[in-house]
Structure 1
């Protein structure tokens, strides 16, 4: 028979989907690095989706923590640890955000360098 969709099951499915989305984005970005096309605006789409997926994963994790908390009254340590993991996941999202800013600077410099090269070519 079919399994009933309990809140925990829905949350687990959402979590797995968001992790897979993030992994696909990482894979696409690695492919772009190999081709040398990562310093382009197309890369931002994947980075943005990845940040969204990681934030979604952390929200899903917090939801699990909240759903799990009533059962952990005897041992609040588990809830604290799970909360810490949720914060850690958000920390990863922040790191990706910082890397996105660095990528934005690199793309801007790449564009500037290309423009300067074009101007130099005109002069020569």
Structure 2
């Protein structure tokens, strides 16, 4: 199906651009931004390095998901997605997302005690909830992949 191959190709281009943007953010943007924030808010300057470490780890989690998605796209292109080999990549995505969500929840709890005013904690709560939805969605998608893989192997056995 040509449209599947075009979609996979376009998605791979976008994944490369996203990955490159995340590297630029990790190396150039985040350190400078957090340094200037530490200068502007001396009371919160002690959070510069923990915030940088947290941000970099979260972005690494996104990069791991991008790499796993890349590998799964290769399996889609080769019509091997409904195989046991796909579960290693899907499991890595799920566990990486769980780790990122746990870190994000920890950041939410920490920020709720540090920051005065409801703005940032409410924003982080929204992100935590959205992240939880994404993790659970991936768990459901993994279960659907398991069902499809079982059905495909059953059909291959019949044919």
TM-score by length of 2: 0.65
Report 1:1-124 matches (<5 A): 6-73=49-116, 75-117=117-159
Structure 1: runs of 5 or more not aligned: 118-124
Distance 1:56 1:46 in 2: 15
3-state SS of paired residue (1:30): helix
Q: What's the offset of the Cα at 1:27?
A: 1.2
1:59-102 residue CA offsets vs partner (Å, 9 max, x unmatched): 222232233334421x2132022012112111111111111111
Partner of 1:120: none
Gapped regions of structure 2 (runs ≥ 5):
1-34, 36-45
**Deviation larger for 46-55 or 4-13:** 4-13
Q: Deviations over 1:94-115 (max 9, x none)?
A: 1111111111011101111111
What TM-score results when the alignment is normalised by the length of structure 1?
0.82
Identify the residue that residue 31 of structure 2 maps to in structure 1. none
| Root mean square deviation, CA, Å | 1.9
SS at match of 1:6: helix
Distance in 1 (CA, whole Å) between partners of 2:67 and 2:135 is: 16
CA contact (8 A) 1:11 1:63 kept: no
Q: Which has the larger radius of gyration?
A: 1
CA distance in 1, matches of 2:144, 2:60: 27
CA distance in 2, matches of 1:86, 1:25: 22
